[in-house]
Amino acid sequence: MMRHKNTNKHFTRMGTRKKVHAFVRVKPTDDFAHEMIRYRDDKTIDIHLERDTRRGVINNQQTDWSFKLDGVLHDASQDLVYETVAKDVVSQALNGYNGTIMCYGQTGAGKTYTMMGATENYKHRGILPRALQQVFRMIEERPTHAITVRVSYLEIYNESLFDLLSTLPYVGPSVTPMTIVENSQGVFIKGLSVHLTSQEEDAFSLLFEGETNRIIASHAMNKNSSRSHSIFTIYVEAHSRTLSDEKYVTSKINLVDLAGSERLGKSGSEGRVLKEATYINKSLSFLEQAIIALGDQKREHIPFRQCKLTHALKDSLGGNCNMALVTNIYGEAAQLEETLSSLRFASRMKLVTTEPAINEKCDAERMVKNLEKELALLKQELAVHDSLANRTHVNYDPMDEIQIAEINSQVRRYLEGTLDEIDIINLRQIQEVFNQFRVVLSQQEQEVESSLRRKYTLIDKNDLAAISAVQKAGLVDADGHLVGEPDGQSFGFGVASFTAKAGKKPKSRKTMKEQPSSSARKEGASSPVSGKDLDIFTSKTQLTPSSKDGDVKDMLLRDRETSYNETLPLDTPKEELHPPRPSTPPSRPVAFEDFKSERGSEINRIFKENKCILNERRKRASETTQRINAIKKEIDITKEALNFQKSLREKQGEYDHKGLMIIDEEEFLLLLKLKDLKKQYRTEYQDLRDLRAEIQYCQRLVDQCRHRLLTEFDIWYNESFFIPEDMQAALKPGSSIRPGMLPVSRIVSLGEDDQDKFSQLQQTMLPEGPDSISFYNAKVKTEQKHNYLKTTMGLQQAHRK
């Protein structure tokens, strides 16, 4: 049954379809209603009701019913009942099939007697103790398997779950609430104790303990045990003793004693009793609904979760289970109405089809062991083959570092051309060779990248020749500002702060680093310091107002002392000596690369994308222009040809008899062509106009993006590396200021330009603009409050303990 496949994913061997076995057990009585209850054969029970003449409309009142079941147990001994109802279900459980046996019926009709039996009399013991006995007997008979048995005993009363085998003294449902949990393995009750029992006796003790607990609890809670459902579960797990067998089977047998099924209202229940009755009737009618749904092949959804009873039994009703139902009825005429309703339930149950299947699982530990064995065997086999092929030196173990290093060197030599061939030894080695190719390749890529980076970052600001070379390469414009490369690739940033013509700076680029003190420039001009160092320096002076103009060189040296090893020559590029550390501000170009791949990645991506679009549109525009020119040319040629044809015709004076001009085919075709060309021209021209508009728009977008990228970078750079410590603390996570926002104290000290920049910064850093500040602040505060509550609650709990 497809709709049950979620209940247990481990069954593999599907069985054949089976119906639920539904039996009726009639409670012995001296007052059996022979007139009303008749057995047609040992499976069919007929009910006959006398017409009730006191009722008004009697003609359409049904008086006869017939129920065909799997067996009618009249005056049957406990032994016979077990043989008929339970024996097969239990024996199948040891083969891995789940089983469910339920007793249903009116209170007093014999459910508990059938399930549990009379505990004081061995002969009258019910299905439960007999099932346990059978399980242990079968285990003895099956020495080929190691079989474990576990049991649990659950009671459901007024939609609350009780563990009848709880090792703790009874404390009520609120302290250890149990929950019904579903996973791929099926349904289980979280919190329900499951007890390993190695022999029959243990199992019996648990069973009795459960019964006792049930009675004690019913007294303690003043509850009527006939109004609760109880589910005794036997869990079986059978492993083959043959170690090579990785598969093992599991199963569970649910033995369910349902609450009394009598209808409400008859007894005029009140208060607690009414509440109980409502719960029972609800859960039983939910059980019935589930049963009806299970019996209906067209139904996709089975309402298992409506109550605890059906939820707990979800994977034990229908599905892959062997199922048996005993409907206990009275034989007396007075109970006929209830008897009828019980029989109806039984016949509905009979419609349910199940598809019993083995719950087969795989023992991972055993599997590993078996695979290891297999591996060892195959290695031996390989060794035999190698020795026959004279390849005795070959080793198939995983390679160690030295061997890998050797392969790496082989690959390098091979790439350099100093090694002609790499010897193939075995598959593992081939794989490693390819691996090392990849390693070498990525190393080389990195080397190329970093050498390129060095090339762009290490230009001396005073080296005018170098700068002009860079300018020629299109990296800086005449003002020394960096430009995005027109081909859509990333752009360098090395000498961004260099200003060849001071005072010609555009306003928009008036950022901190572009206001170096005159002395800084003077010093820069006379000292052999690389551009990036000057960059760091000028930025730093911005935020350390105490530095005096004359201290430039000192400061530079100090800066180096704190950042680098003092024995290093001043102009050694630091990347070659130290990897960049967070405490050492990286040069702007390097930082810019970082920025683009991290914080600025999104805008950089948009920037690049827009540039790509722009370039593509430009290309298309130029292609279109070319096409237009070609068409224009063609039009001119065609026009000329037409004129020639026309003049020719005029000379010949070709007219038809009506005086109309006769056009020959050639001229006609030329006319058509001209028309067509003009149409083409118009379409292309329209395209070109659209493209131009688009290009203009894209150009603006690209400019905007570039501007934003640079502005954000500036902010990020200064903030990341040049913000005083007190402010950095404020920018740490947990403070109400996000990175990207500046504390209020900072705004006050900002100049007018900086104020502008600050609001701009807020807009760009907070994705939703300045309005989102309160949102983020509230969020942070809520988080803090939540954390506070968590801590204090934790403290209180610890205190209580």
Binding residues for ATP: 105-112
- Residue 583's nearest CA partner among 717, 729, 713, 721 is 721
3-state secondary structure at position 529: coil
The residue at minimum Cβ distance from Mg ion is: 112
Nearer to ligand ADP, 116 or 470 (CB): 116
Q: Choose the binding region for Mg ion from 76-84, 105-113, 481-489, 763-771 (rule: CB under 5 A).
A: 105-113
Q: What angle do CA 300, 101, 134 make, to 5 degrees?
A: 135
- Residue 99's nearest CA partner among 71, 125, 135 is 135
Q: How far is the CB of 51 from ligand ADP (least distance, A)?
A: 30
Q: How far is the CB of 111 from ligand ADP (least distance, A)?
A: 3
Nearer to ligand ADP, 328 or 429 (CB): 328
For position 457 contacting Mg ion by CB under 5 A, the verdict is: no
Say which entry of Mg ion, ligand ADP, none residue 113 contacts (CB below 5 to 8 A, set by partner kind). ligand ADP
Say which entry of Mg ion, ligand ADP, none residue 356 contacts (CB below 5 to 8 A, set by partner kind). none
Say which entry of Mg ion, ligand ADP, none residue 97 contacts (CB below 5 to 8 A, set by partner kind). none
Q: How far is the CB of 156 from Mg ion (least distance, A)?
A: 14
Nearer to ligand ADP, 109 or 165 (CB): 109
CA gap 154, 193 in Å, rounded: 9
Give, in order, the Cα–Cα distances in Å from 271 to each of 83, 222, 229, 277. 42, 13, 20, 10
Q: How far is the CB of 36 from ligand ADP (least distance, A)?
A: 19
- Residues linked to residue 26 through DSSP beta bridges, in sequence order: 74, 329
Containing 474, the helix (H) or strand (E) segment is: none
Asked whether 552 and 537 are in contact (CB, 8 A), the reply is: yes
For position 310 contacting Mg ion by CB under 5 A, the verdict is: no
- Residue 327's nearest CA partner among 17, 121, 81, 29 is 81
Nearer to Mg ion, 39 or 208 (CB): 208
Nearer to ligand ADP, 84 or 429 (CB): 84
Give, in order, the Cα–Cα distances in Å from 273 to each of 107, 216, 281, 722, 758. 14, 19, 12, 77, 72
- Residue 86's nearest CA partner among 133, 119, 140 is 133
Give, in order, the Cα–Cα distances in Å from 560 to each of 150, 453, 491, 567. 74, 21, 28, 10
Q: How far is the CB of 326 from Mg ion (least distance, A)?
A: 12
Nearer to ligand ADP, 118 or 371 (CB): 118
Asked whether 155 and 214 are in contact (CB, 8 A), the reply is: yes
For position 218 contacting Mg ion by CB under 5 A, the verdict is: no
Say which entry of ligand ADP, Mg ion, none residue 109 contacts (CB below 5 to 8 A, set by partner kind). ligand ADP
Q: How far is the CB of 118 from ligand ADP (least distance, A)?
A: 6
The two beta strands, 322-329 and 99-105, are: parallel
Q: Choose the binding region for Mg ion from 69-77, 220-228, 281-289, 734-742 (rule: CB under 5 A).
A: 220-228
Find the binder of Mg ion among 8, 112, 197, 342 (CB under 5 A). Answer: 112
Nearer to ligand ADP, 349 or 591 (CB): 349
Say which entry of Mg ion, ligand ADP, none residue 166 contacts (CB below 5 to 8 A, set by partner kind). none
Residue 387 identity: S
Q: How far is the CB of 190 from ligand ADP (least distance, A)?
A: 28
Nearer to ligand ADP, 310 or 328 (CB): 328
3-state secondary structure at position 9: coil
Residue 748 identity: V
Q: What angle do CA 573, 576, 578 make, to 5 degrees?
A: 100
The residue at minimum Cβ distance from ligand ADP is: 110
Say which entry of Mg ion, ligand ADP, none residue 509 contacts (CB below 5 to 8 A, set by partner kind). none
Three-state secondary structure along 582-644?
A: CCCCCCHHHHHHHHHHCCCHHHHHHHHHHHHHHHHHHHHHHHHHHHHHHHHHHHHHHHHHHHH
Nearer to ligand ADP, 27 or 453 (CB): 27
Q: Which of residues 509-538 bind Mg ion (CB under 5 A)?
A: none
Give the footprint of ligand ADP on this chain (CB under 6 A).
27-28, 105, 107-113, 118, 226, 260, 328
Q: Choose the binding region for Mg ion from 221-229, 234-242, 589-597, 613-621 (rule: CB under 5 A).
A: 221-229
Asked whether 731 and 723 are in contact (CB, 8 A), the reply is: yes
Q: Choose the binding region for Mg ion from 226-234, 371-379, 605-613, 721-729 (rule: CB under 5 A).
A: 226-234
Largest CA distance in the chain: 136
Q: How far is the CB of 225 from ligand ADP (least distance, A)?
A: 8
Binding site members: 105-112
Nearer to Mg ion, 328 or 410 (CB): 328
Q: How far is the CB of 47 from ligand ADP (least distance, A)?
A: 20
Say which entry of Mg ion, ligand ADP, none residue 110 contacts (CB below 5 to 8 A, set by partner kind). ligand ADP
- Residue 482's nearest CA partner among 463, 501, 464, 497 is 497
For position 114 contacting Mg ion by CB under 5 A, the verdict is: no
For position 587 contacting Mg ion by CB under 5 A, the verdict is: no
Q: 């005083």: which residue's tokens? A: 724
Q: How far is the CB of 328 from ligand ADP (least distance, A)?
A: 5
Q: How far is the CB of 25 from ligand ADP (least distance, A)?
A: 7
Asked whether 343 and 67 are in contact (CB, 8 A), the reply is: yes
Q: How far is the CB of 376 from Mg ion (least distance, A)?
A: 60
Say which entry of Mg ion, ligand ADP, none residue 220 contacts (CB below 5 to 8 A, set by partner kind). none
Asked whether 32 and 336 are in contact (CB, 8 A), the reply is: no
Residue 378 identity: L
Q: 């170096």: which residue's tokens? A: 516
Nearer to Mg ion, 280 or 495 (CB): 280
Nearer to Mg ion, 113 or 717 (CB): 113
CA gap 694, 700 in Å, rounded: 10
Asked whether 66 and 303 are in contact (CB, 8 A), the reply is: no
Say which entry of ligand ADP, Mg ion, none residue 99 contacts (CB below 5 to 8 A, set by partner kind). none
3-state secondary structure at position 153: strand
Nearer to ligand ADP, 259 or 352 (CB): 259
Say which entry of Mg ion, ligand ADP, none residue 105 contacts (CB below 5 to 8 A, set by partner kind). ligand ADP
Write the CB contacts of 122 (distance below 8 Å, at least 6 apart in sequence): none
602 burial type by CB count under 10 A (0-12 exposed, 13-18 middle, 19+ buried): exposed
Say which entry of Mg ion, ligand ADP, none residue 328 contacts (CB below 5 to 8 A, set by partner kind). ligand ADP
For position 106 contacting Mg ion by CB under 5 A, the verdict is: no
Q: How far is the CB of 231 from Mg ion (least distance, A)?
A: 13
CA gap 322, 21 in Å, rounded: 8
Binding residues for Mg ion, per CB under 5 A? 111-112, 226
